[in-house]
Chains A and B, each alone.
Chain A
Amino acid sequence: MAEARQTEGRDTLTVAMIGSGGSGVMTAAEILIRAAARAGYYGLMTKSFGPQIRGGEAAAFVVLSTAPVEAPSDRVDLLFAIDWQNAGRFAGELPLDADSLVVSGQVDAELPSIVTDAAPRIAEVDLKSLTRSHKGTRPNMVALGVTAALAGLPRAAVATLIDERLAGKGEAAMQQGTAAIDLGYEEAAAMTGVDGLTAAGDDGERWIISGNQAAGFGALRGGVRFAAAYPITPATEILEWLAPRLQKAGGLLMQAEDELASINMIIGGSFGGAAVLTATSGPGLALMSESIGLAVAAEIPILVIDVMRGGPSTGIPTKSEQSDLNIAVHGLHGDAPHIVTAPMSIADCLFTAQWSTHLAESMQVPVIMLSDQSFGQALGVVEKPADVAFATRRLLAEEPAEDYLRYALTANGVSPMALPGTAGGQYTADGLEHSQSGLPSSMAADHNEQLEKRLHKVTAFDYGDHWARVEGGGDAAIVTWGSATGPVREALRRLDPGGERVRLIAIRLLSPAQPRQLAEALAGCERIMVVEQSQGAQFFGHLKAQFDLPAGADLFSRPGPQPFRPAEITAMLEEWLS
């Protein structure tokens, strides 16, 4: 049996697999990244689909590496096309060049201009005759064999996965599956033009997880047991991941009739004592805004996860953009202090969701967590994330005194909350301004006291080191957030591998702003560059207005829908630093 060639090798390999609907591209790519994970590599898989609900052309992009993968790659080393139907749609997403190897699964196919223009090396695999002459083998599994072999993955890692997947379908199916993989490895033996990966190090346990799964699991770890939501791309996977698991964990997910209902259902659930969440995207967040304000006024802890997509309006549901920052920070009417957080990697979706639940519960306040499509719908192979247990929970009035006041003024602004069922704690939660008892009041004194209380509790809270991640040193700094962080980190790894020239500051706590902490992180910096993905430079504006960003800071900002690639950031930084 042909084994993978172990040539000189490379540390990172980017593979694209494309094909028309039903060709099995996604299955093949998922097995590829999983096999690589088992072999000890890190990885990142993103997907792109045509607009059809079913049956459209599909592309999977898989980056495999011996080191953590921070961003989509600049170029494609290996493209396997099971067929070429509508492949032109992926122009702009398939950066091929003369060093790329393109494997056509069809013989004598007419190659699209996105291939021919790049003049890559071309190889052919006759999937049709191969699968015809070997009964029961499937084209996508042969393609997987070729790709895995060229990537330098051990055949056994792939074959074991095939066995596991097909175990339920009987011995014959398993044999046909591994036969297809073997055919692929044999075909690849004759090909040249792409070096496989060097052997992976053995540095600990890996997880394979999407940003949306990570967010769901983080919230579950944080204690969330009730969710209500309305389906929306690209947040639905959080809900579909949570629904059966909440059931098992003693919780419940309710599909609501709309976002107005889902936000109010979770407010009702939280009023009753459950830790709660909803997940949505920009259009849903816009619908929820009024009631998030209710949770501010009535001091009800809730977590709202916004998996951002291109906007405005319906925008680009399947592509990423960092353009909901303004609505998340400023979208509530009145003076409505609340928390806005953002994860900075797929794995960090887990931590940030868990932390956000902790913040909501501790301060009895709504938290909006801004994830985005490029985390949510991407599959990452990451180091096993740590389970950080946060001790603080909701402050309850378990035995309310005679003179119990639900909104009593306290030193830190957080008042003990009586849950329904607690005798002597009865109060009415209200969106109307109220006195300390909760009864409606339009008196200036009550308004000012309660406004101050609600602001104080979120500004006085100790957020510790979690407000941001600060890496490296030097007299220049990049300030960024969310999904822009990975490409920036990769660019800095190339330009400043020792981390001595440029600091990276990725902000996790967007609101309330932490100007003093940012100033400390920037101490000694002469030059500052802000990197973000929005047309309107929303983050830059927010930093200037709320974080006291020093005058003279530079900006690199553009809208989605294409993700930042490290080369784009590297080129910009080279010029900026020179």
Chain B
Amino acid sequence: MTVEAACPLTARDYKSDYKPVWCPGCGDFSVLLAITKALAEVGRPPEEVAVVSGIGCSSRVPAYTNCYGFHGVHGRALPLATGLKLTRPDLLVLAAGGDGDGYSIGGNHFMHACRRNVDLTYVVMDNQVYGMTKGQPSPTTSPEWDSALVPGGTGLRPFHPLVIALAAGANFVARSFSGDPNGTAELIVEAIRHPGFSLIEVLSPCVTFRPEEREWAKQVHPAPVEPTDDRGRAARRVLTDDGFNIGVLYRGRRRPYQPPFGQAQVEVAEFEAEFLP
């Protein structure tokens, strides 16, 4: 299944030649690098990896890898990834996208993917803004942030993805910062290796519409606590921390959801008998 160490795979083996649409300085460049580094570390050949996404700046990531990819419609990366993984448990399936795609239009799928706990790794590049449509507030945007679409700010409390993920049943929860691609790659490796549904929330600045997010580099810090397998404790921590704790925040012990697929016990023709009167 994997290529032996004679010629170890490197991040470059997972990178395509296709030039990203991202703005210079975008945090997503580093996340792409982290993903390819992580895949090289895990060592599954590119054709055994599928990167699945929805719509948005960060959702462009599949075509920038040399893996199989699916760039679907807005908000539906997780059901696409779920259908693929359930029927192809042999593949490494990674879903990726942004905060608008995953937490707003795809919010219901996010909850249910956590609850379902299929063995997927979900990398969310959270920049607290809709970048592709040029600067509207997302569910994680702070209430006072002013924009053309919502002048004066939304006045709404931001969505807290990590607490929602914990409450809904995600099996692995981590936070990272795009400015640290090596650290992010390590977290992605661990997420891939952890069974079940893993969420990595990557703080990934939008330098065009949220230039103030460059300051995140100074604000992030390693989580001052050890990862826990206690959901309540993890939830309390992420609810009360400053939002810049980096590292693994929760490692669960739920069994992944993977019903058997592909092992027929009967021939289809055997069902004919039930239609006899």
Contacts and interface: CB of A to CB of B under 8 A. Distances in A.
A282 to B, nearest CB: 21
B268 A221 contact: yes
A432 B71 contact: yes
Interface string B56-84: 00000011001111111101101111111
Given A38-B277, A207-B275, A269-B83, A429 B69 contact: yes
B45 interface: yes
Contacts of B108: 257-258, 260-261
A248 interface: yes
Nearest to B109: A261
Interface residues of A, number: 66
A271 B46 CA distance: 16
Contacts of A263: 79
A249 interface: yes
A268 B47 contact: no
B18 A439 contact: yes
A432 B277 CA distance: 51
Contact of B264 (A34, A250, A270, A384): A250
A426 B83 contact: no
A333 to B, nearest CB: 11
Nearest to B90: A421
A429 B70 contact: yes
Interface stretch (B33-41, B194-202, B239-247, B255-263): B255-263
Q: Which secondary structure dominates where chain A touches chain B? A: mixed
A262 B78 CA distance: 11
Interface string B87-107: 110110000000000000000
B13 to A, nearest CB: 11
A403 to B, nearest CB: 14
A268 B262 CA distance: 16
Interface residues of B, number: 50
Nearest to A37: B277
B148 interface: no
Given A206-B277, A207-B277, A428 B84 contact: no
Interface string A61-105: 000000000000000000000000000000000000000000000
A440 B87 CA distance: 27
Nearest to B269: A387
A228 interface: yes
A250 B277 contact: no
B265 interface: yes
Given A264-B76, A424-B47, A428-B63, A269 B86 contact: yes
B56 to A, nearest CB: 12
Contacts of A220: 268, 271
B277 to A, nearest CB: 3
Nearest to A39: B277
Given A37-B277, A265-B83, A267-B83, A420 B88 contact: yes
A473 interface: no
Contact of A439 (B50, B63, B261): B63
B246 to A, nearest CB: 30
B264 A291 contact: no
B87 A272 contact: yes
A345 to B, nearest CB: 15
A428 B70 contact: yes
Interface string A234-277: 00000000000101111110101110111111111111111010
Interface of B: 18, 45-48, 50, 52, 62-63, 66-73, 75-76, 78-88, 90-91, 108-109, 111-112, 259-266, 268-269, 271, 275-277
Interface of A: 34, 37-38, 205-209, 213, 217, 220-221, 225-226, 228, 245, 247-252, 254, 256-258, 260-274, 276, 290-291, 294, 298, 381, 384, 387, 418, 420-432, 438-440
13 contacts: A261-B82, A261-B108, A261-B112, A264-B83, A265-B83, A267-B83, A268-B52, A268-B81, A298-B70, A423-B45, A426-B68, A428-B69, A440-B63
Top 6 A-B pairs, shortest CB-CB distance: A268-B83, A428-B69, A250-B264, A37-B277, A265-B83, A264-B79
Given A250-B264, A426-B68, A431-B72, 18 more contacts: A207-B277, A213-B275, A225-B87, A256-B112, A257-B109, A258-B108, A266-B83, A268-B81, A291-B73, A298-B70, A298-B72, A420-B91, A421-B91, A426-B69, A427-B68, A429-B69, A429-B72, A430-B63
